[in-house]
Structure 1
């Protein structure tokens, strides 16, 4: 076989290999998206229940806010990556502060309903050892998310998590986020102290936050 005749064969093999690689990548992306969807079964809804069984160590009040006593809390998982503004952020760097984590999407009506309260409270507590951090999910691009923040006056950073990979790092049976919006309060040791699986009013947000801020 001449070199000229072998060249098309090599080209065909390269094309087939590239197509297989593309199929594998598409399959991996679909799997991640499906996993995130399964986690957030109450997406843009008003609540849910924690996964797993056994002793979860938390108590859910009549207002839907679940809390854990100081000595029984579990650390938040690694929450690091790029923000919607393209900067690098690691929530662990805020250890020593109380952290308010809000899971949101620009497409989510309840997220819009609570956004003004998060903007207001985040500014009021900026000098009180409290850091707000968003986790933006299921937005296919950062453009809509950035516009959302501008519209509602959100000035704190938000990690960009379009497929829910960060959310899947929370263990079942803990105060894991299961809906959009979800809000978690991390204590000064980086442990999850409280969780809400629904949109919050200013009153309910402060009810979650104040007891953790007051801890010694």
Structure 2
């Protein structure tokens, strides 16, 4: 599968030109098996999926850190950026201000951000993380991967490889993924293409 430059830009939407900071990811970064989401990883570390080969996510819903019910399916029609993080993860802490900044800037452009907090055994440290970085978007609380693992096709994300950032197109299908911390310049480029 070869991606044309335009198709690649479209596929990347919210993660266009994402690379990783020079930080290592928390955990192995391996997804625990074969990749079944048709990713094509560029030299920049971004794994994109051509529009015709994208797969939908499974149910990604549950309780947020603030105790409210949240269902990603309610965001259909918008570009959705999902960041999986842990309060104890240094790359997650490094990228948090950038994710928050771009979430704020792109809210009126039809781009929604959601976090999935994992491997924090209680909500206290995760809530403190959100307070420390003044996170503006909700995060589902998923300490053992009950939301994360069935929600994504095998090879997309696991609680052991943090932080992955996954972009869903307006139809709720996976358009792109990157493992490792990101910054606003690499996250912000053409966020709202033809997705």
TM-score, with length taken from structure 2: 0.80
Work out whether residues 46 and 197 of structure 1, in 8 Å CA contact, stay in contact via their aligned partners in 2.
no
Residue 112 of structure 1: aligned partner: 93
Residue 190 of structure 1: aligned partner: 172
Cα distance in 2 between the residues matched to 1:168 and 1:181: 14
Residue 177 of structure 1: aligned partner: 157
Cα distance in 1 between the residues matched to 2:29 and 2:186: 14
Q: Describe the SS at the equivalent of 2:97.
A: helix
Work out whether residues 98 and 187 of structure 1, in 8 Å CA contact, stay in contact via their aligned partners in 2.
yes
Cα distance in 2 between the residues matched to 1:205 and 1:101: 12
Residue 168 (str. 1) matches residue 149 (str. 2)? yes
Cα distance in 1 between the residues matched to 2:38 and 2:63: 32
State the 1:201 CA deviation. Answer: 1.5
**CA 1:195–1:131: 2 relative to 1, 3 Å:** same
Cα distance in 2 between the residues matched to 1:110 and 1:43: 6
Where do 1:199-210 residues align within 5 Å? 199-207=181-189, 210=190
**CA 1:214–1:43: 2 relative to 1, 3 Å:** closer
State the 1:47 CA deviation. Answer: 3.7
Of 113, 128, 135, 1:132 maps to 113
RMSD (Å) for aligned C-alpha atoms: 2.0
State the 1:48 CA deviation. Answer: 3.5
Structure holding more helix per residue = 1
State the 1:81 CA deviation. Answer: 0.6
TM-score, with length taken from structure 1: 0.73
Cα distance in 2 between the residues matched to 1:66 and 1:181: 14
Residue 215 (str. 1) matches residue 184 (str. 2)? no
Choose 1 or 2 for highest CA Rg: 1
State the 1:51 CA deviation. Answer: 2.8
- The CA deviation string for residues 66-104 of structure 1, in whole angstroms up to 9 with x for no partner, is 001111100011000100100000000000000000000
Unpaired runs of 5+ residues, structure 1, are 1-41
Unpaired runs of 5+ residues, structure 2, are 1-23
Count of aligned pairs between the two proteins = 169
